[in-house]
Amino acid sequence: MSGITFSYKIDGGDFVNAGKASSEIKRTLKQLNVAQKTIKRVVVSLYEAEVNIVAHAHRGEINVLINAEEISITLKDEGPGIESVEQAMEVGYSTASPSVVSMGFGAGMGLPNMKKNSDYLNVESKVGVGTTVTIKVALVG
């Protein structure tokens, strides 16, 4: 079946608007009567991914598809890419700038949080080009 789609554009460094997509998706899932626990998993994953684009990339685009079974989110950015995705998945590993760290971000917990709160996480990256993250969370069962 077809579903509901959303699309957002994000600018690197724009911390003022970080979380907008997460907030709108949260509202939509609430209206669809998705369980609160599931909404929280989606919101944690999406917010972390959103902040990663703001903190590291030049710009990015988020595409969301919600159908009866699952929510599927693709975040594609243009940016420095990730040298070692395996290393980036480790808790505590971070390449965030000092200014980002001083805000309380960049503690090396973002990708681990996304892994923990999603049913499917895929990170594809090319150094100097950008990163595409795909997150899926089941909405039923």
Site for another protein in 18-77 (CB under 8 A): 18-19, 22-23, 26, 36, 40, 43-44, 47-48, 51
Helix, strand or coil, per DSSP, at residue 109: coil
Q: How far is the CB of 128 from another protein (least distance, A)?
A: 26
Site size toward another protein (CB under 8 A) is 23
Which CB, 49 or 139, lies closer to another protein?
49
If phi over 0 gives left and psi between -120 and 50 gives alpha, with beta otherwise, what is residue 19? left
Q: How far is the CB of 129 from another protein (least distance, A)?
A: 25
| 5 lines the binding site for another protein (CB under 8 A) | no
Site for another protein in 89-128 (CB under 8 A): 103-105, 107, 109-110, 113, 116-117
What tokens does 2 get? Answer: 């077809």
Q: How far is the CB of 64 from another protein (least distance, A)?
A: 15
Which CB, 69 or 139, lies closer to another protein?
139
On the 0-12 / 13-18 / 19+ scale of CB atoms within 10 A, 132 is middle
* Residues near 84 by beta carbon (within 8 Å), at least 6 away in sequence: none
Rounded CA separation 42/122 (Å) = 15
Phi first, then psi: give them for residue 134, nearest 5 degrees: -120, 130
Q: Which positions touch another protein (CB under 8 A)?
A: 15-16, 18-19, 22-23, 26, 36, 40, 43-44, 47-48, 51, 103-105, 107, 109-110, 113, 116-117
